[in-house]
Amino acid sequence: MKEAKVGRWVMGVCGFFLVSFFLAPMTVEAGSVGPLEGRANAIDYYSEDGFGSYGNQNAVPENESGKCCPAFAWSEVNFYAAIIYGFGDVNCHQKAERSWEVNNNQLPVCTRDVGIFCGLFIGGVVFSRRGWNRWTVRDTCLSLLPERMLHDVYAQNRRTLLWLGCGLLLCLPLIFDGFLQLLTSYESNNIKRILTGIPFGFGIGVLLCAMFSARAEAFRGAGEVLLPGNAKFTLAKEEAQESE
């Protein structure tokens, strides 16, 4: 079953990163990482000075020596930690106040990203058990919902509306929490960042699985796709011929 394999791949890759976010800080010297303050989608901690040293060069002094914290360069730690911290450096802002610590070292990503990867992992688990190839990405995503719930949706062809609604519902917690922080004096906390990141990651995980699982070539024709309520796909060309 290709769908189960795709779900297990997403589950495995995202699960590896999720676990590694907590293991990598334990493989380097205690107290050697953080507090970090980088930028998302940029390299800030590749070296202590020179290329990719934005985070070290822009640290704010907090003591008489003029140094706020130990300089950190993920290119100089062990290979495993370098891969995980490098991944976090490129993809996350790594703000210390929005991150957890393990072994007195800051995690490679913020708590929001931990929640997102947790959701990605869960999405892979659920899809590997319930996901079915239903020709299109949209219908493959909807295969996770109980079939009884979908009978009227397919009978009235409201699939796109339900698909977009589910996606919006999963994204709204993160959108509200993030934009309220950005536009008002509201300040979220790490628990809220985890909880709002999980549904967003779940939605992305299901979408990824569906994108790799939805294959029209697996069927001899659109009418062979098994849909809720015995609904059938009819190609637009066939409908035009029937109307003639």
User: 207-223, pLDDT tens digit by residue?
Assistant: 999 999 988 887 777 77
The widest CA-to-CA distance across the chain, in whole angstroms, is 86
Using a 10 angstrom Cβ sphere, with 0-12 exposed, 13-18 middle and 19 or more buried, the burial of residue 93 is buried
For 182-201, write each residue's pLDDT tens digit: 788 888 898 999 999 999 99
Residues 6+ apart with CB under 8 A from 93: 38, 39, 40, 110
**Once rounded to an integer, what is the mean pLDDT over residues 21-30?**
95
**Once rounded to an integer, what is the mean pLDDT over residues 81-94?**
93
Which pLDDT band holds residue 65 (cuts at 50, 70, 90)? very low
pLDDT for residue 235 = 61
pLDDT for residue 61 = 53
pLDDT for residue 59 = 61
Which pLDDT band holds residue 8 (cuts at 50, 70, 90)? very high
Q: Are 36 and 106 in contact (CB under 8 A)?
A: yes
**Once rounded to an integer, what is the mean pLDDT over residues 158-180?**
91
For 90-105, write each residue's pLDDT tens digit: 999 888 889 999 999 9
CA atoms of 224 and 113, how far apart (whole Å): 40
Q: What is the mean pLDDT of the chain?
A: 86
- In the predicted model, is pLDDT for residue 66 greater than 90? no
Of residues 214 and 120, more confidence is placed in: 120
Using a 10 angstrom Cβ sphere, with 0-12 exposed, 13-18 middle and 19 or more buried, the burial of residue 115 is buried
CA atoms of 181 and 188, how far apart (whole Å): 7
Global pTM reads 0.86
Alpha-helix runs per DSSP H in 67-158: 79-91, 111-130, 137-142, 147-155
In whole angstroms, how large is the CA radius of gyration of the chain? 23
